Structure 1
C-alpha cells in the first residue's frame, strides 16, 4: 500500500494486523511512502511527505512496540546471504544490491496463538549476516576446502538462535539444502514487512539512482533507472515509442502463444499511455 502523510499513515499498524489475521494467503506487506508527482506547492508536499524512518517509527508506535526500529534492516544487508548461498551451491543467487536508503525490511513470525514477534526475537540477525560474510570470504581468499569450512560456520549459526521451534528447523533446513520448497515452507511461517521509497523530482538522489536494481529497457537500447524514468523520462519515451494496439499488431508478428493468449481490447484508435 502507498502511505501518504496526513491521509493513511495512522493505519499502518492496522494493515499489519490484517495481514497477520489472513496469513494463510498474505505473505508480505510492502509499504510505499508516497512518491509525489505533478505540480504541488511546498506546504502540501510537506504535509504529504513521509519517509522510511517516519514509517518505521509509526509502525513502532502503532504496534505498541512489537516491531521496533531495531528490528529493521536495509534491503542490501541481505546481499551477503545470497552471495554465500551462491558460492556454496556453485550457482549464483539473487543479491539485493540496491542503495541502503531505498528500502528496509523485517520478518514477523506468527505463533500458534495468533500473536506475532519479529524475527530478531528468534535469531541474532546481525550474527547471521556476519557469518554469511565470513563464508563468502573463505571462497574469495581461496582457502582450502571452502565448502567444508563453510558448513562448519553454518553449523555454528545454530548457536545464535534465541528460541527453538519450527522457524529454527525450517531455516536450518533451507541453509543446508537451499531448495525452493524449504524456502516456501519458511515463508509460509512468516510475513515479510517491508518498505521501498521510490524517489520523485523533489527528493532525487543521484547516488541512489546509480545503485538502482529496477530498470526500464527502452526500445532505443537505453536502460533507465526506475525513479528517473517516472520522474524525468516517461513522457518523452511514451511520446516517442507509444502506439495503439492495432499499430503494434501491424508492426509485430505475434508468436503462437501470443495469438492464443492475447485478447484484443476495445480501443478507440487513439494512443493510450
Structure 2
C-alpha cells in the first residue's frame, strides 16, 4: 500500500507502470479532499485539481486498485461528501472512499476547534443523506474500534452499488449502545465479520472474505466469481488530537506506524508525540507533568 498526494503518479507514467507490477496485492491510497480548487488551496496550499485528475487517469489506465482519502473540514468541504462518493464510482479502479475528519496536527495553521472541527457522526450522516444507496444500517462501527471508525461495504457493478452491511441481523446491533456490536448469538458470523471488517484486508483476500461473510447471510445471494473490483467501501476514520484525546481509543487503535527501530506506535499518538519537533516537545512536556504528580 502507498499513501500519496499523487504528484509523481500524475507526472510519471513509467513509475505507475512499475507500481502496476506489484498487483494484485497492492493498493494506492490517493489524497482526494475535494472536487473544488479553493478547497485544495486551503488544505494543501495549491490547486491540485488537475493533478488528482491525471493521477486517477493513470491509475485507471494501469488498473491499480485505489482508495480516495478525503480530509473533511467543517464549513469548507463537508458539503462534498456525497459528491466525492459519486465521483469515486466513475472510476473502475477505485475501491472506495476513506473520509477523515480534520485533525489538529501537522500543517494546520489557523485551526479553530469550534469553527473547523467535524466529527465521525457528522460525516456518517452526510453519507447516509447523500444521493447513494447507503443507509444508516449500511454504515456501521468497525468492531475493533467502534468509536473511531465506521465502515460500509457494497457489491459493485460498474457505477451501481448494492450495500451488504444492512443484511447483518438486527439482533447483532445493541440498540442501547448503538456504537457497539454484539456477536455472541452468531459465532460463525462473528468470525467472518471480524475477518472481513478488518483493516488488514487487502486486494488478495477481500473478495474471498466478503464471499465467506455473505454465505452466513441467507438473505444475500453469493455472486459467482466475485473479485476485488466488485467491492466498494466507505470508511470514516476519526483520528485523535488534543481536543478529543482518549487513552482507551488509543489502546483500540487499528492504524499504526512502524519506526525504523522496530517500534509500533498508534497513528494518533505518533502524530501528537513523535512526528516532528513540536510533537516531541509535547511528549516530553506530558512526561514531565506525569513525573511531577
Question: TM class by shorter-chain length?
Answer: 0.5 to 0.7
Q: CA deviation at 1:107?
A: 1.1
Spell out, residue by residue over 1:187-207, the C-alpha distance to the aligned partner (whole angstroms, 9 max, x if none).
211211111111111111111
Aligned residue pairs total: 180
**Closer, same or farther: CA 210–16 of 1 in aligned 2, 3 Å:** same
SS where residue 234 of structure 1 aligns? coil
**After superposition, where does 1:201-240 map in structure 2 within 5 Å?**
201-218=242-259, 222-236=263-277
How do 1:1-273 and structure 2 match up within 5 A? 1-22=70-91, 24-37=92-105, 40=110, 44-63=112-131, 66-76=133-143, 97=144, 99-111=145-157, 114-120=159-165, 123-124=167-168, 130-132=186-188, 158=215, 160-164=217-221, 168-170=222-224, 185-218=226-259, 222-236=263-277
- Pairwise CA distance, 1:59: 1.1
More strand per residue: 1 or 2? Answer: 2
Q: Which has the larger radius of gyration?
A: 1
Q: Distance in 2 between matches of 1:7 and 1:70?
A: 27
Whole-Å Cα distance in 1 between the matches of residues 188 and 90 of structure 2? 33
Alpha-carbon contact 1:131-1:157 (below 8 Å) kept: no
Identify the structure with bigger relative contact order (alpha carbons < 8 Å, sequence gap 6+).
1
Indicate the residue corresponding to 1:83 in structure 2: none
Q: Unaligned 5+ residue runs, structure 2?
A: 1-69, 173-182, 193-210, 282-293
Instruction: Report the secondary structure of 2:93's partner residue.
Output: coil
Instruction: Please report the RMSD computed on the Cα atoms of aligned residues, expressed in angstroms.
Output: 3.5
8 Å contact kept, 1:124–1:161: no
Q: 1:5 to 1:162 in 2, by over 3 A?
A: same
Residue 10 to residue 206, structure 1, CA distance change in 2 (3 Å):
same
CA contact (8 A) 2:271 2:279 kept: no
Question: In structure 2, how many angstroms separate the alpha carbons of the residues matched to 1:108 and 1:155?
Answer: 14
TM-score under structure 2 length normalisation: 0.52
